[in-house]
Structures are given as C-alpha cells and as structure tokens.
Amino acid sequence: MNKEAMELASEEEVEVENLNPLTAMQSVKGYLTKLEELTFMQILFSSSATIRRGNFGLSRKEVERLLEIGNDEHAFQSFLKRVNGAVSRYMKVIYDKQRNQVVALMRVPAKQARNVLSKESLAILMFIFYHQEVLQNEYTLFSQLIQSFGHESLQITRKIQANLDPLKKIGAIDDYDDNKGEDAYQLTAIGAHLFSDSYLRRYTEFSQSNQLHLEDVIRFFKRYNLKGDIADDPLET
C-alpha cells in the first residue's frame, strides 16, 4: 500500500500542496540510523502542542475546505490514504466519523510512551478497549470499572475518576448517555488506535504466559478492519 500511495502522491502533488513536506518525511528513513530515527521521533513528540480536551483534530468539513474539495468522499479518502502512506512510520491520520473529527496521531516510542498516561489510566483504557472492541459492548459503565479494579486499592472511586480524566482529556474516551442516569463511557477512534500493535502483543503475551503471533493478536482485538476492509481478514466472512 505504501508504494502505491507514494505514486498516487506524486501524481497529485500539484493538487494538494500540503502533501509536500509530508512526503519529504518518508525520506528521513533513508538518511538516519535507527537510533537517530528514534531520537527524531522523540523530538517531534516533545515539540508537539499541549493536548487539551477537544482541542485536537479538525472537522471533516474543515479538512475539505483546506483541500478545496467539496463533499467528495473519494477525494477525502484518497487524501487520508496518501498522507498515511507517506508518514505511516511516524504518524497516522484517522477520521472519527462519530465525532466528525480528523485527528493526527503521533507514534510515541516505548521509552516516552509512559509519560503520556499513568499506568492506572492505561489499565483502565485497556479494559474499556477490550470491553468494547473485543466484546463489542456499546459502552462501559463506571460501576463495571469499580467492580473490576475495586479490590486492588483504597479510595478506588476517586482513583478511577482521577485516572479517567486524562483519558477524556486526550480524547480516548467520551461520556456516553445511557439514559439510566449512570456514568458510562464510550471508546472513541483515538482510544481505539492508542495502543500500538506491538504493545497489544506484549500485553497479551504476558496475560497468556505464551508467545503469540502478531496477526493473531490483531485479529483478537478486531483491528484488521481499521487498516482496510473487513475483506482483508481471511478468516472473517
């Protein structure tokens, strides 16, 4: 897909001027050693703007305006595909249909990733992720979180609330109105993309006490359809 996207990109370069600096980033790979590459990514990460709630991403309309395309599904998807083709090693651009937001996600290497969220936040997000992506629940109730993590420490209600907050700020989960007056949360596209494939694999390996194939892990977390169509998965009908 990568190569194809590159070709597409050069064909339409004139049309989408913004693409130029992004395609240039791809060549970075050829110039740097792996260590230098890691460093570069860390610089990018530390230089990015502070993340504030609701202050990331653009609406699809805004993107279309910038691209000077109308409500053209094909042109929009093609743009996403090409951008992702060019910078996939460092960033990806996802479109969250539900929230109507186009968000750029940056790849944070393992060493820096633990500065993003606390270990408790990550555990909570992993639970919600599993609960909604694998078990296909529409939302996760606060009481379910309490039930799962409650026996681990004191002051659990406050602790979970405090660790849910950064998840909301980063846009990984959203409040969900279940019409029953209970606190509920729904995973957003950001939340669904936050864990890298490698992380999911290591995490699952620890849980199973066995090594695993990456493809099996991806299939387990129903990630295959994030990258393309469901048809990509040979076992799915």
Partner 1 sequence: MEEVDRRLISVFETDVDQPELLQSMRDIVSFSGVLKELSDKDYFQSPHQVLRFLRVIQLINLEALGLTDALEDEEQIFYRYRHIYEYDEEITLGFVKHLIYVLGKYNWVTKTSRRIKMRDLGKRMIDSLIRLANDSLAYYLNDEVARSLFQAKRDAELSEAYDDKGISGGNKLASMIRNVEEATELLIERELEYLADRNALMQVEVIHQLMQELEVKMEERLAMFETLDQELIFSTIKQRGITAISEGTKISLGTINKILKFAHLRETDVIRTIQPDLLRQFIERTFNPPVDSDIPNAHQILSFMEQDQYEDEAMDGMWVPIKFASPISPETVDIGIDYLENYQPTTEPIEVVVEEFFPELDEVMEDELDDLMGEAKWQMTKQMIHTERLENYLDEVEEASLDELIVEAGSSSWSDVLNGLIGASALIGNKKADLDEKANKKIKQDHENRDWRWIDDEQGGYGISKRRRGGSGKS
Is 132 within 8 Å of 139 (Cβ atoms)?
yes
Q: Cα separation of 146 and 67, whole Å?
A: 45
Q: Specify the residue, 7 or 51, whose C-beta has the smaller distance to partner 1.
A: 51
Distance CA 210, CA 196 (A): 19
Residue 223 makes contact with partner 1 by CB under 8 A: no
Cα separation of 97 and 5, whole Å? 23
Binding partner 1 (rule: CB under 8 A), the pick from 199, 222, 226, 233 is 199
Pick the closest to residue 217 from 188, 231, 232, 196 (CA basis).
Answer: 196
Cβ atoms within 10 Å of 137's Cβ, excluding its own: 15
The tokens 């997000």 sit on which residue?
125
- Considering only the stretches 7-15, 77-85, 114-122, 228-236, report the one whose residues sit in contact with partner 1 under the rule CB under 8 A: 114-122
218 binds partner 1 (CB under 8 A): no
CB of 47 to partner 1, least distance (A): 8
Q: How far is the CB of 74 from partner 1 (least distance, A)?
A: 25
* Structural tokens at position 143: 């009481």
CB of 212 to partner 1, least distance (A): 6
Residue 59 is a binding residue for partner 1 (CB under 8 A): no
Q: Number of residues in contact with partner 1, rule: CB under 8 A? A: 68
Helix (H, G, I), strand (E, B) or coil at 137: coil
Q: Is 80 in the site for partner 1 (CB under 8 A)?
A: no
Closest CA to 63 of 115, 31, 103, 28: 103
Taking the least distance from each CB to partner 1, the nearer of 49 and 180 is: 49
How far apart, in Å, do the first and last CA atoms of the chain sit?
A: 23
The first and second tokens of residue 31, run together, are 């110039």
Query: What's the rounded Cα separation, in Å, for the pair 122 and 119?
Result: 5
**Contact letters for partner 1, residues 146-185 (x by CB under 8 A):** --xx--xx----------------xx--------------
> What x/- string results for residues 15 through 54 when contact with partner 1 is judged by CB under 8 A?
------x---------------xx--x---x--xx-x---
Looking at beta carbons only, is 9 or 124 nearer to partner 1?
A: 124
Amino acid in position 167: L
Positions in the binding site for partner 1 (CB under 8 A): 21, 37-38, 41, 45, 48-49, 51, 55-57, 89, 91-92, 103-114, 116, 119-120, 122-124, 126-127, 130, 134-135, 148-149, 152-153, 170-171, 190, 193-199, 201-214, 216-217, 220
